[in-house]
Structure 1
Amino acid sequence: MFVALLLLLALSNAVSIDAEVGRCGSNPILDPRPHSVSILEFGAVGDGKTLNTLAFQNAIFYLKSFADKGGAQLYVPPGNWLTDSFNLTSHLTLFLEKGAAIIGSQDPSHWNVVEPLPSYGRGLEVPGGRYQSLINGYMLNDVVITGNNGTIDGTGSIWWELFGSHSLNYSRPHLVEIVASEFVVVSNLTFLNAPAYSIHPVYCSHVHIHNVSISAPPESPYTVGIVPDSSDSICIEDCVVTMGYDAIALKSGWDEYGIAYDRPTENVHIRNVHLEAFSGSTLAFGSDMSGGISNVLVEHAHLFNSNSGVEFRTIKGRGGYMKDIVMSDIQIENVHTAIAATGHCGSHPDDKFDPNALPLLDHITLKDISGTNITIAGSFVGIEESPFTNICLSNITLSTNSVSAITWKCSNVSGFSDSVSPKPCPDLENPSNYSSSCFSYLMSITERNTAVL
């Protein structure tokens, strides 16, 4: 009976990923993995106390032998499976049954330390290395992390305390980090209490993240939900994310290291998401964006209970660009600043950055947006030497509260607006030539996303 159950799960849940995985609306094709094993077969104990790292490592090492035979599935049954970091392999499905929870060890001495990412040059929080993430993949092809609403829990409180007391020896780990891989699916799971990021695809292509729930407490410092980083052909859809800092943040490297690595985040489609971010932004771009961010389409989003709704962040010395970005059909509620862009956000990794590396912010379109209980409608504070240009606003109605007498803040920015309430600053009410540029561009990026993603 048990073997029959495993075979049924292998047939019903394994995924063979097609070439269009990056385009939302083209879901991965479900094909059977011909081989499946349970973590129980490798001596794992789901009591929440026994450390199962070796069981996960041995199971995946065994399943690696099936990579050229159609791939394999590792089945995690109900239980609390305590573990340290482990690495996935290509042509693998990690499947968490309902009631199954992979739980990260709270002992930092159990976590391996790895080199910093080359596009960052050092750990984000502490110079030098960084703790390896709970679930890792490196140079993989066709990897799936899915389930029947199982849970991956980082038990991040110990890491948040170390961060708050400035006691970290290395930068905090993430829950899931997939590096330099392609055709990746993360779906049908709950992610809790990440030490830092929850899902971090970096240097990846063709990543599909859908139907996941991600949360960390409001007081968790600088926790972020989904972080596409120097990656392309990304679909994020049907997700609910509630985090201490940012819900979704697009990134592409840090100052001179990101400029040298030169890999942008591009061709990203985000839709049907509910995002909440206590002290940060529900949808953030940067501030680490030195490799560039472009060709992004966001639609059908609900942004709520946050410090800011949409925020573009950069600073002199970053270099890079944020351009060709369209957001439409957005609902914003109970947010301090609905739409923001700042050229004065972020720190530098060291004193080797080039202060003359000026970032570019250009061709940003926001349309069909409504908001309630907003304190500041918009804040666009550009860089004097590199103003923000071609900001296009259309059909936006934001109901502001009485907390602030100022509804818009603008400097070193130019653009066009049509049917925007409250009325934006004069900098965003430029003549009709901006209008034609805005909307011809809007049509082109929508067509391009459909074709490329």
Structure 2
Amino acid sequence: MATRRMMHAAAAVCAVALVLFAGHIGALPAGCRKHVKKVTDYGAVGDGKTSNTAAFAKAVAELSNCAGDGGAALVVPAGKWLTGPFNLTSHFTLFLDHGAEILASQTPKWRMFTDKYKLVNGKNGTINGQGQVWWDKFHAKELTYARGYLLELLYSDSIIISNVTFVDSPSWNLHPTYCTNVTISGVTILAPVNSPNTDGIDPDSSSHVKIEDCYIVSGDDCIAVKSGWDQYGIKFNMPSQHIVIKRLTCISPTSAMIALGSEMSGGIQDVRAEDSVAINTESGVRIKSGVGRGGFVKDVFVRGLSLHTMKWVFWMTGNYGQHPDNSSDRRALPDVTGINYSNVFAENVTMAGRMEGIPNDPYTGICMSNVMVHLAPDAKKLQWNCTDVKGVSSNVSPKPCPELGAAGKPCAFPEEELVIGPSILPQCSY
């Protein structure tokens, strides 16, 4: 009897939405949901003080029953909506209206999980991690558990995150893990530049990921591509691959615009970054690895960077020393090859390149072409520091180190476009 009542209740949720949108059924724009509810329908209060964890959980649980009937959207209206962690569901959109702000409760662990076939989007609403308390505890070494990420995507497919602002995450902001077909478009991510580990977007063991038109201010890497640590990543063997990054704007004085690694033991390949800007950022595209990592970083294509006030334009690190535990195999050496940089302009730069491979395991196949670096008044006298790397260059200034000084042709960039996600994002009015 209880089960039957639950089924009837679920049907009622969908029926209400059918009535509300009866004039549009069968003619919805692609990607839009058939059934729509507001979080206030489940008792939520947008005063910034009332806990709405139960309301969000109830809404998602009920609307999950609409997955097979056109999916559902949960609208968060203008207001401040305090909540603990909650999961999303399949065939589902979390829509933040203009003026809507989800506030993360300051409980020990906070993150939002997703499953598959869903969107997080809106009219530039905000998800606020209220991370200051966690940063303070981290600096004081008072934490006995990991800080939560703001949005965690696990084993998900066909994800769209667009037109949303993420603010003050306790740790990483967006973390797609073991995912495919992920589009992150028009997203703003903001954190103080001295906040610890507030990475912007970290695709992790994920394939076919498109990141475009995003603005990130961070205390760590704006984007960090990962695929697992040491023997655990090697054993799981799920690379991050087929990743497109376009029109990114990054500010991160102590980290990279785009980092590959250091957790790269499952492999990273076919990364294409172009037409992006970094301002007051430590480095451009940085490769981070080390002895014990294993795995590979290969077929990386970078072009059209505009860099302003940088410590290093090019940085490769073969001595990144962090490990998950003491059981790492020092015989596991990474394979780093096929790294291409072209059409790079940089100004107010301290040092053009710090290129460090691994002894007896050099980073190879590096190509640089059409690179112009203008130095800062306090620039280093030595502009290139290269060890255990091999490559070619063409039209690079200042003149690169001998290890990269062999004459080369303009560096490669794939001619065929890598198509990820819809060509036009859903235009839904909820």
TM over 0.5: yes
2:214 partner SS? strand
Q: How many residue pairs were aligned?
A: 402
In 2, the alpha carbon distance for the partners of 1:98 and 1:430 equals 54
In 1, the alpha carbon distance for the partners of 2:30 and 2:162 equals 13
In 1, the alpha carbon distance for the partners of 2:296 and 2:228 equals 11
Match of residue 187 from structure 1: 162
Match of residue 165 from structure 1: 140
The answer to whether residue 111 in structure 2 is matched with residue 134 in structure 1 is yes
Match of residue 114 from structure 1: none
Match of residue 94 from structure 1: 94
1:30, distance to aligned residue in structure 2 (A): 3.3
Match of residue 363 from structure 2: 388
- Give CA deviations for 1:2-25 in whole Å, capped at 9, x if unaligned: x99x957x979x99xxxxxxxxxx
In 2, the alpha carbon distance for the partners of 1:7 and 1:400 equals 61
In 2, the alpha carbon distance for the partners of 1:151 and 1:451 equals 28
Output the amino acid matched with 1:387: P
1:226 partner SS? coil
CA contact (8 A) 1:287 1:346 kept: no
Match of residue 358 from structure 1: 333
CA contact (8 A) 1:282 1:304 kept: no
% identity of equivalent residues: 40
Match of residue 68 from structure 1: 68
Q: 1:73 to 1:393 in 2, by over 3 A?
A: same
CA contact (8 A) 2:64 2:89 kept: yes
Match of residue 226 from structure 1: 201
- Give CA deviations for 1:345-365 in whole Å, capped at 9, x if unaligned: 141111111101001110000
The answer to whether residue 255 in structure 2 is matched with residue 280 in structure 1 is yes
Alignment of 1:174-213 (within 5 A): 174-213=149-188
Output the amino acid matched with 1:83: T
1:86 partner SS? coil
Q: What stretches of structure 2 of length at least 5 have no aligned partner?
A: 1-15, 422-430
1:69 partner SS? coil
CA contact (8 A) 2:199 2:222 kept: yes
2:211 partner SS? strand
1:151, distance to aligned residue in structure 2 (A): 0.2
CA contact (8 A) 1:268 1:295 kept: yes
Q: 1:383 to 1:42 in 2, by over 3 A?
A: same
Match of residue 41 from structure 2: 41
- Of residues 390, 415, 418, the one that matches 1:414 is 390
In 1, the alpha carbon distance for the partners of 2:324 and 2:360 equals 22
1:278, distance to aligned residue in structure 2 (A): 2.4
The answer to whether residue 103 in structure 2 is matched with residue 103 in structure 1 is yes
In 1, the alpha carbon distance for the partners of 2:284 and 2:189 equals 18
CA contact (8 A) 1:400 1:407 kept: no
1:344 partner SS? coil
CA contact (8 A) 2:313 2:349 kept: yes
1:106, distance to aligned residue in structure 2 (A): 1.5
RMSD: 2.0
Q: 1:359 to 1:7 in 2, by over 3 A?
A: farther
- Of residues 243, 252, 268, the one that matches 1:293 is 268
The answer to whether residue 284 in structure 2 is matched with residue 316 in structure 1 is no
In 1, the alpha carbon distance for the partners of 2:271 and 2:367 equals 15
1:134, distance to aligned residue in structure 2 (A): 2.1
1:107, distance to aligned residue in structure 2 (A): 3.1
1:213, distance to aligned residue in structure 2 (A): 0.5
Match of residue 373 from structure 2: 398
1:452, distance to aligned residue in structure 2 (A): 7.8
Q: What is the TM-score normalised by the length of structure 1? A: 0.85
Match of residue 143 from structure 1: 118
1:446, distance to aligned residue in structure 2 (A): 3.6
Match of residue 450 from structure 1: 418
In 2, the alpha carbon distance for the partners of 1:324 and 1:11 equals 46
Output the amino acid matched with 1:281: A
In 1, the alpha carbon distance for the partners of 2:375 and 2:387 equals 21
Match of residue 402 from structure 2: 426
- Give CA deviations for 1:99-127 in whole Å, capped at 9, x if unaligned: 0001101232xx3xxxxxxxxxxxxxxxx
Q: What is the TM-score normalised by the length of structure 2? A: 0.90
- Give CA deviations for 1:17-65 in whole Å, capped at 9, x if unaligned: xxxxxxxxxxxx7333110100001110101000100000000000011
Q: 1:346 to 1:362 in 2, by over 3 A?
A: same
Output the amino acid matched with 2:418: T
CA contact (8 A) 1:285 1:311 kept: yes
- Give CA deviations for 1:391-413 in whole Å, capped at 9, x if unaligned: 10000001011321121110000
- Give CA deviations for 1:323-366 in whole Å, capped at 9, x if unaligned: 10000010001111111001011411111111010011100000
The answer to whether residue 350 in structure 2 is matched with residue 375 in structure 1 is yes
1:197, distance to aligned residue in structure 2 (A): 0.8
Match of residue 30 from structure 1: 30
Give the stretch that moved more between structures: 320-329 or 395-404: 395-404
Match of residue 238 from structure 1: 213
In 2, the alpha carbon distance for the partners of 1:11 and 1:321 equals 50
2:184 partner SS? strand
Q: 1:11 to 1:107 in 2, by over 3 A?
A: farther
CA contact (8 A) 2:217 2:251 kept: yes
1:197 partner SS? coil
Q: 1:7 to 1:146 in 2, by over 3 A?
A: farther
Output the amino acid matched with 1:58: K
CA contact (8 A) 2:348 2:377 kept: no
Q: 1:78 to 1:255 in 2, by over 3 A?
A: same
Q: 1:96 to 1:7 in 2, by over 3 A?
A: farther
In 2, the alpha carbon distance for the partners of 1:276 and 1:284 equals 14
In 2, the alpha carbon distance for the partners of 1:193 and 1:205 equals 26
Q: What stretches of structure 1 of length at least 5 have no aligned partner?
A: 16-28, 112-132
- Give CA deviations for 1:218-263 in whole Å, capped at 9, x if unaligned: 1101210000000000000010011011101100000111111100
1:256 partner SS? helix
In 2, the alpha carbon distance for the partners of 1:30 and 1:241 equals 29
Larger Rg over CA atoms: 2
The answer to whether residue 53 in structure 2 is matched with residue 53 in structure 1 is yes
